[in-house]
Amino acid sequence: MTKTFKILAALLTYPTVEIQEAVADFLPPLKEESLVPAAFIKRLKPLITEYQERDLLDLQERYVLLFDRTRSLSLHLFEHVHGESRDRGQAMVDLKAMYEENGLVIDSTELPDFLPLFLEFLSTLPCGEALQLLGEPAHVIAAIGERLAKRDSSYAAVFGALGQLAGPADTEVMEALRKEPDDDPEDLDALDEAWEAEQVTFGPGSPEEGCPKVANMLDNLQAEISGGAKPNGGANNG
C-alpha cells in the first residue's frame, strides 16, 4: 500500500478537524517513500501550515470556492473531458467496475471520478500499476495545477506533486484545455450560470452526503503511518 497517494488524497479532500489533526504527520511518509521529489514535497509545507494555523471554517470556505464553485478547478476528472455528456456516465460506470474488479467497493455517494477517491484507489494497487493509471489523466492534473498556480493557491503544490507522479501531459490536449474558460470564483453570477445544468448523480444516496468518509480514511492513514493497517476510507476492500 502506497501512503503517498493517500496523503495527497487527504490534502484534496474537504477540510475537517481530522485532517487538521493529521497533517503534522504527512511529510515524513512522503519523504520515506520518495515517490515525489524532495523539492515538490517541500512545496507542500505552506498548505500544511495553513491547515495547522488557519480557522477550519476559513479552510472549508476556500475549498468550496475553489473546487466546488469553480468548474475549471473541479476535482471530478471526467468533468474536464466529457462535461455532462452521456460519455461521462459510461466512463464512470467503467471506472467503478475497475474499482470493484480490484476488490474496492465504494461506500461513499461521491462520484467515481472524484480525484481524492481515485487516489485512494491507487494507494491499494502495486506502485507501478498505480503510476501507470495516474498517467491517464495527466493532462487534467496539469491543467488544474496551472490554474491554481495562476491564483497563487497553495493547493497548486499538491497538483505539482501529482504531476511528478503522473508524468508528462500530451501537448495537444494541454493546449486544448488551456483554451477552455477558466472561471472566476468571485463572479458568483457567472458561476451559477455555468452550473445551471443539473449535476450528474451516480449511484444511491443524496448529494448532500458528500465526499469519501474522511474520518475512516484519516484513521487508516494514521494507522499506516504508525504501523501499517489496511486502507479503507471512502471505499472498502471487499
Spatial contact of 217 and 234, defined as CB atoms under 8 Å apart = yes
- Model pLDDT for residues 165-175, shown as the tens digit of each residue: 999 988 888 88
What DSSP string describes 55-111?
Answer: -HHHHHHHHIIIIIS-GGG-SBTTHHHHTTSHHHHHHHHHHHHHHHHTTEEE-SSS-
- pTM metric for this prediction: 0.76
- Model pLDDT for residues 21-71, shown as the tens digit of each residue: 999 999 999 999 999 999 999 999 999 999 999 999 999 999 999 999 888
**Residue 109 pLDDT:** 73
**Residue 55 pLDDT:** 97
Q: Domain boundaries in the chain?
A: 3-237
Range with the largest mean pLDDT of 30-34, 86-90, 183-187: 30-34
Least trusted range by pLDDT, from 54-58, 160-164, 187-191: 187-191
Q: Which residues are CB-neighbours of 38 under 8 A, at least 6 positions away?
A: 31
Does the pLDDT of residue 206 top 50, yes or no? Answer: no
Of 153, 160, 164, nearest to 46 by C-alpha is 153
Per the model's pLDDT, the better-predicted residue between 221 and 88 turns out to be 88
- Model pLDDT for residues 97-133, shown as the tens digit of each residue: 888 888 877 766 778 889 999 999 999 999 999 999 9
**Residue 97 pLDDT:** 86
C-alpha cell at 196: 445551471
**Residue 173 pLDDT:** 82
Q: Residue 167: helix, strand or coil by DSSP?
A: coil
